[in-house]
Each structure stands twice: as C-alpha cells, then as structure tokens.
Structure 1
Amino acid sequence: MKDLINELQLKIERLESEISFKNGLISMLSHDSKEMFGNFLWLVEALEEKTIGEEDFLNLLPQIKSDARKNLQTIHDSTSWLKTQYGEFKIKPEKIIVMDLFHYFEEKYAAKLKEKNIKFYFKGNPNAFVTTDRFLLEYVLDKILNNAVKYSLPGQDVYLQEVTGGDQVILSVIDFGTGMAEKYLSAIFTYENAVFQGTAGEKGVGLSLKIVKNFVSLMHGNIQIISAENAGTTVSLFFT
C-alpha cells in the first residue's frame, strides 16, 4: 500500500509540473505576441496619422526586428515541444557517437563562431557514445550551445566535454562568458526569470531552457547548471 501511495504521489507531482509548464508556456506566448504585434500596430498607426516622423519610425525598426526574431524563436521552440505532446510520439533510443554530435554542431555554428571569433573544442573520448533519442538530444545540446555562444565574449572558448564513469555518461557544454548571478540561476527553469541579453545584443527569455529540462526528463536524464557572474557557465547532462 505504501508503495502504491508513493507511486500515486509521484504521478500527481509529475502532472502538476506538466500543468505548470504548459500554463507558463501559454502565458509567455500570449504576452510576447500581444506585446510585439501591439508595438508594431502602434508604430504603423502613428506613421499613418503622422504623429511620428519617418526618421523616428526607421530608428525604431531595429528594435521591432529584434523583438520579432525573439518571438519567432519562441514559436520554433514551442513547435519542437508540441511534437512531443501530440500523436504517437515515443522515445527512439539509438547509439549516438558524441564526436559525431560535436562535428554536427561545429558545422551548424560555424558562422556564429566565426562572427564572434569563438573557438569550439571537444574534450573527452572520441569513441564515447550515449544511447538516447537523437531528436531530443540534438535539440537540448543546440539550445545549450546557442546560449554558450550568445553569452560568450569575442575570443573566448566553448567546449563540449564528455566524461564516462561506470554506466553514466556526462555531456557538458562549458563557456567562460558572462555567466549568471545566483538570484537568476535559482529561477532559470521557472517563468519568473528576467530577459537576458547576449554579448552582441541577442535577446532571450529562457524559454528554450524550460523545454530543455522537459526534454531531458523525457530522456530519463538529469541536468545541472553551474554558473558564476563574469566567470562562465557549465551545463551538464547526465545519462545512464
């Protein structure tokens, strides 16, 4: 009976977590969409009514573009998450060579890395592998690496590190960028954290990391973030 009660309690906690995640996601999408389209509509109407000059209108366009790009990324992230919620989505474990992942992201991020003069390195056993769902793992590493590049200063290094111990594989993305203060780190997976700005002005609201945590859970793994302001961030994924 005690085991049954514990199992039911875990299911209740899992459902409450999922409901909270979904409600937060809907709230964020609603707020961001209203804000972006509201600002854009205000600008167009102001231009039509000549309450704002063309020069001022053009000066505001970069901000509108930045907000639109942020919202588009939010939609892309939400679409990826929705793929796991409807239909017959099931985890498809397969053997994934970690070095192959490194080369995949090295090529995908070549332009961004060159633009910020950031070197991307691999540390670990080149023959190491992890057995999990490729779609979920690539999404997770993509978002973590994107943040590492976003919050790194020109000339800094970023690492993908692999450590295998016993039956556990740890994949870590390590950067030496701006890092985060403890007050932000403690709320990184909630909907209470602030909007962060990258070293080149890139914006982010942290939605991708919330989905990352959800995807890591689907892969039956764990995630750990260690960060210090102006000292960098290490995001580690634990798989067994």
Structure 2
Amino acid sequence: MKDQINELQLKIERLENEISFKNGLISILSHDSKEMFGNFLWLIEALEDKIIVEADFFKLLPQVKSDAQKNLQTIQDSTTWLKTQYGNFQIKPVKIMVTDLFHHFEEKYAVKLKEKNIKFHFKGDPDAFLLTDRFLLENVLDKIFNNAIKYSSAGQDIYFQQVTEDDQVILSVIDFGMGMSEKSLSMIYTYGNPIFQGTAGEKGVGLSLKIVKNFVSLMRGNIDIISSENKGTTVSIFLPKL
C-alpha cells in the first residue's frame, strides 16, 4: 500500500511539472515573439516615417539579429520537446558508450571550441556504458555542453566526466567560466528569470535547462547543478545503469 501511495505521489509530481513546463513554454514563446516582431515592426515604421535615418537603422540591425537568433533557439528547443509529447513517444533504451558521446560532441562543437580556444577533456572509465534513450540523452548533453561553451571564456577547459556508483551512472559537464550567483541558480527552473548572456555576447533565456530537467525525468534520472560566480559550473545527471 505504501509503495502504491509513493508511486501515485510521483505521478502527481510529474504531472504537475509537465503542466508547469507547458504553461511556462507558452508564456516564453508568446512574450518573446511579440517582443521581437514588435521591435522589428517599430524599426521599419520608424525608418519609413523618417523618425530615424538609414545609418541608425543599420546600427540597430545587429541587435535585431541577436534577438532573432535567441527566438529561433527557443523555437528549436520547443520543437525538440514536442517530439516527446506526440506520436506515442516511448523510451527506447540502447547501449551507449560514454566515450562515443564524448567524441560525438567533440566533433560537433569543434568549430566553437576552436573559436574560443577551449580544450575538451574526458575523465572516467573509457569502457563505461549505460542503457538509455539516445535521443533524450544526446539532447540533454547537447544543451548542457552548449551552455558550457557559451559561458566559458577563451582558453578555458571543459571536462566531460563519468562516474559509476552502485546502480547509476553520473555524467557531468564541468566548466570554469562565468558561473551563476546563488540567486540566479535558485531561479534556473523558473520562468521569470532574466536573459543570460554568454562571454561572447550569446543570448539565452534559460529554456534549455528546463527541457534538460524534463528529459532527465523521462529517463528516470535526476539533475544537479553546482555553480559559483566567476568559478564555473558543474552540471551532473544521475541515470540508472539498467
């Protein structure tokens, strides 16, 4: 009876998290789209009405481009999440070598790593593996690793670490970049948090980590984030070895 109550409580908690995530996602998409298109429309009308000159119009275009890139990322993240909500999506556990994941992201982000002169290292058992859904895991690590690069300065290192403890595998992405304050960290999964800006001016609204948490939950795992300002961030996901 106790186990049934615990299972029911977990289901209720997952349902509440899903509802919160969906409402937050709709809010972000609605707010950001209105803001971006509203600003772009105002800019065009200001030029047409000769409120601003062409020189000023072109000076403002980089900001419009930056806002558009941020909104495009939000839409892409939303599309990825929607794939898990329709079409009878089911977890498909497959054997995944951890070093294969390391080499996959090392190759995928080779250009960005080179641009910032960041070295990517692996720490752990080279023969370690786990059984889980590849689509979910790769998307989770992709968003975590992308953030690690975004918030790292030129010349810093990033580590991909694997640790096996009892019946779980812990995968961590460790950077030594901007980090977050205690206040920002406490708001990381809320929908009223500020826009985050990377070391090269990259923008993000923090939606990626909300999707990460959702996907980790689908894999029956947990996520932990440790961060300090100007010291870096460690994002760890705890997954059942199966």
Interval of TM-score (by shorter of Structure 1 and Structure 2): over 0.9
Match of 2:219 in 1: 219
1:126-145 equivalences in 2 (<5 Å): 126-145=126-145
Structure 1 residue runs without a partner (length 5+): none
Match of 2:62 in 1: 62
Match of 1:105 in 2: 105
Per the TM alignment, residue 11 of structure 1 is displaced from its structure 2 partner at its CA by 2.7
Match of 1:170 in 2: 170
Per the TM alignment, residue 232 of structure 1 is displaced from its structure 2 partner at its CA by 0.3
Measured in 1, the distance between the counterparts of 2:209 and 2:172 equals 15
* Matched residue type, 1:89: F
TM-score normalised by length of structure 1:
0.97
Per the TM alignment, residue 5 of structure 1 is displaced from its structure 2 partner at its CA by 4.5
1:170-189 equivalences in 2 (<5 Å): 170-189=170-189
Q: Deviations over 1:42-76 (max 9, x none)?
A: 11111111111000000000000000000000000
1:148 and 2:148 correspond: yes
Match of 1:74 in 2: 74
Measured in 2, the distance between the counterparts of 1:179 and 1:130 equals 29
Per the TM alignment, residue 6 of structure 1 is displaced from its structure 2 partner at its CA by 4.3
1:16 and 2:16 correspond: yes
Q: CA RMSD in A?
A: 1.1
Per the TM alignment, residue 14 of structure 1 is displaced from its structure 2 partner at its CA by 2.2
Q: Deviations over 1:72-96 (max 9, x none)?
A: 0000000000000011110000000
Q: Deviations over 1:2-29 (max 9, x none)?
A: 5554444333332222111100000000
Measured in 2, the distance between the counterparts of 1:7 and 1:157 equals 41
Q: Deviations over 1:102-127 (max 9, x none)?
A: 01000000000000110011111111
Distance 1:148 1:9, change over 3 A: same
- Most deviating of 157-166 and 77-86: 157-166
Q: Deviations over 1:167-218 (max 9, x none)?
A: 2211000000010000011111111221111000001110010000000000
TM-score normalised by length of structure 2:
0.96
Match of 1:36 in 2: 36
Measured in 1, the distance between the counterparts of 2:15 and 2:82 equals 17
Moved over 2 A (4+): 1-14
Structure 2 residue runs without a partner (length 5+): none
Distance 1:127 1:40, change over 3 A: same
Secondary structure at 2:89 match in 1: coil
Measured in 2, the distance between the counterparts of 1:84 and 1:90 equals 8
Measured in 2, the distance between the counterparts of 1:11 and 1:163 equals 29
Match of 1:95 in 2: 95
Measured in 2, the distance between the counterparts of 1:96 and 1:116 equals 29
Secondary structure at 1:179 match in 2: coil
Match of 2:233 in 1: 233
Aligned residues: 240
Q: Deviations over 1:137-188 (max 9, x none)?
A: 0000000000100000100000100111222211000000010000011111
* Matched residue type, 2:217: S
* Matched residue type, 1:156: Q
